[in-house]
Each structure stands twice: as structure tokens, then as C-alpha cells.
């Protein structure tokens, strides 16, 4: 089996490369390295079944030879990144999805889109089931990501219905683990970095907004289950253990063993008040549910960040 993974040098893409290589697949990673890094796949570079090319998938994608699966993971994914790269984010979600679907169609390959809980925007119901259509501000600063992914889902369903491409859509909720970028601006890297460096932890707003954090190995197992299922409509993959951002900051601070203060900063525009996946569909269809609890996952991630910071 041969897979093409766009965004294979990113946080999730590189873990997916690892998982497929370990499962005996041949993997071609395509990444323009705008937010990804070659270092994420450096350990695979000499592997006989792995290859990495640098290319922007918003441009035509040319891959010689047969392909069994196209997995579209390329996109800036942290709010700070997509605010800095709004046009690239829109392009990779729209044109990159179109090009990668075109590749799947040409090769008669199966296809999986990495979509997002951001499709639900600032949700008015919680937890969010896949049947919820969302509450998104199309013209706000997060709209570049949210709408690109919503367009991407529409495009995937059109390729499925019109061209008969065998497609899957995973809606990924907040995920964390080794290989997150220290400076990607998300809550976890920020909190760990600040606590380790003895700087105040920055909580945005009053910290009562919630998120639900999934450890990366659980996410990848859920995605692999979906790849092998027959479901064409979106499936949520995430950890339903919901926590406020203030509690999360306190957990991280305790774990690091630090006593830095928590300071409150303005809440970014359209920051979702709550986010929690309803994973009953994934449980029912894939027999999947997360296994790693927050404390275990945070320990593993903290170890990675300590090594990174020591190497700086």
C-alpha cells in the first residue's frame, strides 16, 4: 500500500507517517515547510519506504506511479499561524484540497481529509455531534481556517458524490503531544514554555472557555480506524474530557513544578467558549475511544518540550 500525505512534515502528518510506515506502508510526504519542519521526519529519512518532497500543494501535484491513499493534512493549524498566513491557509484548504482530490481521482486512490472542530465555530451546543452545522463567523480572523475547512468538506463530498471517489473526513479536535512547535502560539506549548522559563502563564479572557485535549497517539489510531472504515460523512475524533483553560494552565504549572503567576490577557476575537467532541459515532462505527488520560499525555509531552528547550 502506498500513501501520499500532504503536510507530512507537520505535527500530525509526521505522526501519521510514522504510523503508516510501522504498519508496512510506503509513504510519500509532501510539505512546503511553511509551518512543518524536516526535523519531524528526520528519523524516517533513511527508511526505504519513506520519501519526502518539498512542494506547495496549493499548486498542481504531480506524483508518478500508483497510489492507494491520499491523506490531506497540509494546513497551518494554530490560530497564531493562520492569522499570520491567512491567504496560504485559505489556499491550502481550498486549492490544496482540490489538487489532492484530483490526485486521488487520477490514481483511483482512497482519500482522507483532515478537517477540524473549527467547522463548528463557536458552538451553541455542547458536546458537538457531527450533525451540528456550526456557528462560524465567515469574516472574522478565524474565518480563513474555518471556512477553508468547511469548503474542503464540501469539495470532498462533491468528489465523492460526483466522481465516486472513496473519501473520508475526520474532524480533529484539539490534539497535543511531541513535535508540537514551541512557538506555535497554542495554549499548551505556550503554558509549558512559560512555566519552564519561569515566565507568567498567559491565560486569554477569564479562562472559563473550555477545550478537550486528545493525545496524539489516540488521534492517529482513530484516524487509522476511519481510513479502514466505509464511512464517507464526517467523524469527530478527539478526547471528550473537557477542561477550562484556567484549570488547564494550573495543571500544566503543577506538572512542571513551577509557581509562576497566571496573568490574564484579552480574549482573541471569536475564540470559541466551549469545545467538546461527541464521539459516539466514532465509538459505534470504529470501536474507537481515547486511551491516554490528560496527566499521562502531559507527562510525555513535557518530556519532549524539556528536551527541545534544553537543546535551544
Distance, in Å, from the CA atom of 150 to the CA atom of 146, rounded to the nearest integer, reads 6
Q: Are 124 and 135 in contact (CB under 8 A)?
A: yes
Q: Which of 39, 32, 46 is nearest to 14 (CA)?
A: 39
Candidate list 145, 159, 176, 215, residue with the active-site label: 145
The smaller minimum CB distance to ligand UDP, of residues 16 and 192, is found at 192
Smallest distance from ligand UDP to CB 194, Å: 8
The smaller minimum CB distance to ligand UDP, of residues 56 and 122, is found at 122
Smallest distance from ligand UDP to CB 212, Å: 9
Lookup result for grid cell 519542519: 37
Told to judge if 145 belongs to the known catalytic residues of this protein, a careful annotator would answer yes
The smaller minimum CB distance to ligand UDP, of residues 207 and 225, is found at 207
Query: Dihedral of the CA atoms 252, 258, 264, 269 (nearest 10)?
Result: -30
Residues of this chain that interact with ligand UDP (CB under 6 A) are 78-79, 174, 186-187, 190, 202-204, 209, 211, 245, 268, 271
The smaller minimum CB distance to ligand UDP, of residues 79 and 143, is found at 79
Distance, in Å, from the CA atom of 292 to the CA atom of 131, rounded to the nearest integer, reads 26
Q: Are 212 and 174 in contact (CB under 8 A)?
A: yes
Q: Which of 60, 61, 59, 111 is nearest to 88 (CA)?
A: 59
Smallest distance from ligand UDP to CB 204, Å: 4
Smallest distance from ligand UDP to CB 126, Å: 14
Q: In sequence order, what are the residues at sequence separation of 6 or more whose Cβ sits closer than 8 angstroms to the Cβ of residue 108? A: none
Residue 225 has which C-alpha cell?
480506524
Smallest distance from ligand UDP to CB 201, Å: 8
Lookup result for grid cell 477553508: 148
Residue 127 preceded by cis peptide, ω within 30: yes
CA dihedral sign of residues 133, 288, 19, 213: positive
Residue 127 has which C-alpha cell?
458536546
Q: Which residues are designated catalytic?
A: 145
Amino acid at each position: 500500500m502506498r500513501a501520499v500525505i500532504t503536510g507530512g512534515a507537520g505535527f500530525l502528518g509526521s505522526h501519521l507517517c510514522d504510523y503508516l510506515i510501522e504498519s508496512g506502508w510506503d509513504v510519500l510526504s509532501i510539505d512546503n515547510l511553511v509551518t512543518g519542519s524536516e526535523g519531524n521526519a528526520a528519523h524516517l529519512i533513511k527508511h526505504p519506504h519513506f520519501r519526502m518532497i518539498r512542494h506547495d500543494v496549493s499548486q498542481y501535484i504531480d506524483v508518478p506511479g500508483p497510489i492507494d491513499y491520499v491523506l490531506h493534512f497540509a494546513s497551518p493549524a494554530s490560530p497564531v499561524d493562520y492569522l499570520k498566513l491567512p491567504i496560504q491557509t485559505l489556499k491550502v484548504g481550498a486549492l490544496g484540497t482540490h489538487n489532492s482530490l484530483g490526485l486521488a481521482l487520477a490514481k483511483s486512490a482512497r482519500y482522507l481529509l483532515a478537517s477540524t472542530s473549527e467547522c463548528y465555530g463557536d458552538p451553541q451546543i455542547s458536546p458537538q455531534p457531527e450533525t451540528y452545522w456550526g456557528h462560524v463567523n465567515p469574516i472574522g480572523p478565524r474565518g480563513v481556517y474555518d471556512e477553508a475547512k468547511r469548503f474542503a468538506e464540501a469539495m470532498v463530498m462533491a468528489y465523492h458524490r460526483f466522481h465516486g471517489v472513496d473519501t473520508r473526513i475526520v474532524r480533529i479536535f484539539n490534539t497535543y503531544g511531541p513535535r508540537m512547535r514551541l512557538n506555535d502560539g497554542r495554549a499548551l506549548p505556550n503554558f509549558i514554555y512559560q512555566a519552564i522559563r519561569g515566565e507568567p502563564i498567559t491565560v486569554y479572557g477569564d479562562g472559563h472557555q473550555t477545550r478537550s485535549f486528545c493525545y496524539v497517539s489516540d488521534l492517529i489510531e482513530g484516524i487509522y480506524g476511519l481510513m479502514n472504515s466505509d464511512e464517507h460523512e464526517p467523524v469527530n475524533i478527539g478526547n471528550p474530557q473537557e477542561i477550562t483553560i484556567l484549570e488547564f494552565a494550573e495543571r500544566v504549572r503543577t506538572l512542571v513544578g513551577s509557581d509562576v503567576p497566571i496573568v490574564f490577557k484579552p480574549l482573541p476575537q471569536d475564540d470559541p467558549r466551549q469545545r467538546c467532541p461527541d464521539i459516539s459515532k466514532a465509538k459505534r462505527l470504529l470501536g474507537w475511544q481515547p486511551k491516554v488520560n490528560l496527566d499521562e499525555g502531559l507527562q510525555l509531552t513535557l518530556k519532549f518540550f524539556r528536551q527541545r528547550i534544553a537543546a535551544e
